[in-house]
Chains A and B, each alone.
Chain A
Amino acid sequence: MGFFKKLFGKKLDGLYAPMAGKAVPVTEVPDPTFAEGMLGNGVAVIPTDGKVYAPCDATVDMMFETGHAVSLVADCGAELLIHIGLETVGLEGKPFTIHVKNGDKVKQGQLMIEADLEAIKAAGLNTITPMLVCNTDSFPTFEVHTGADVTRDDVLIELGK
């Protein structure tokens, strides 16, 4: 029974939506750095609200000073990068309010960053937010759920080792 449980009953780890909005395949991000999977496979959200939440229980690995991106090490082992908007590094932090710091333990759904989406748009930039698993190769099972309007309560990626 243990064997079958292992084979068929294996629980996948879920990564929830980091922002509310429309979930789309990462290949639809109009930036090859993300769309070509250079940084890892993942998903993207076209956000309708600027709040950025932890997609799972994790440790904050690197909160960029500019607030435009954060990397996390998930409790399940996934190395995650959430990049709020495209080319937003150039905004030097202005539209971002940071709520966590390096080394913080975060719970799924916890507020990490608030982005002023209107300010990003006013700067002429795209707010689409990719969430990537940088160590994609560590997860043979990698299921992505896109196409729907999502909130932080919706699973976007399921990972299995």
Chain B
Amino acid sequence: MKEFKHVIADPMGMHARPAGMLVKAVASYASTVTITAPTGKADAKRLMALMRLAAKQGMELTVTVEGPDEDKAAAEIQAFLAANL
């Protein structure tokens, strides 16, 4: 299992576009990707679950990646979040 943290920099937080882009980015991995925010926990492959987090700027997300491609997935998701959220 790989785990890393990301603090949301986007002033709008986790709204529809970044959530949709994240789902798309995560969908290609075999690994399970879970995002934990102070507001709850979400399967990053499920758009509705991500939006329900209502994650805002400044909130710290903990991302856990578990599965056969976890090394690659964790590195790429970390880069994606740094660039988009």
Contacts and interface: CB of A to CB of B under 8 A. Distances in A.
A and B assemble together: yes
Interface of A: 33, 38-40, 61-62, 64-66, 69, 71, 73, 79, 81, 83, 89-90, 134-135
Given A40-B47, A61-B48, A33 B17 contact: yes
Contacts of A40: 47
Contacts of B47: 39-40, 79, 81, 134
Given A38-B20, A39-B20, A62 B12 contact: no
Contacts of A83: 16
Interface residues of B, number: 13
A69 B21 CA distance: 17
A38 B20 CA distance: 6
A66 B22 CA distance: 21
Interface in B1-26: 12, 15-17, 20-21, 23-24
Contact of B54 (A62, A73, A90, A135): A62
A95 to B, nearest CB: 16
10 closest cross-chain pairs (CB), A and B: A39-B20, A38-B20, A89-B15, A33-B17, A134-B47, A79-B48, A62-B52, A89-B12, A62-B51, A38-B24
Contacts of A61: 48, 52
A134 B16 contact: no
24 contacts: A33-B16, A33-B17, A33-B20, A33-B21, A38-B21, A38-B23, A38-B24, A39-B16, A39-B23, A61-B48, A61-B52, A62-B48, A62-B51, A64-B15, A64-B51, A64-B54, A71-B51, A73-B48, A79-B47, A81-B48, A89-B15, A89-B16, A90-B12, A134-B47
Contacts of B52: 61-62, 71
Contacts of A33: 16-17, 20-21
A71 B48 contact: yes
A2 B26 CA distance: 42
A90 B15 CA distance: 10
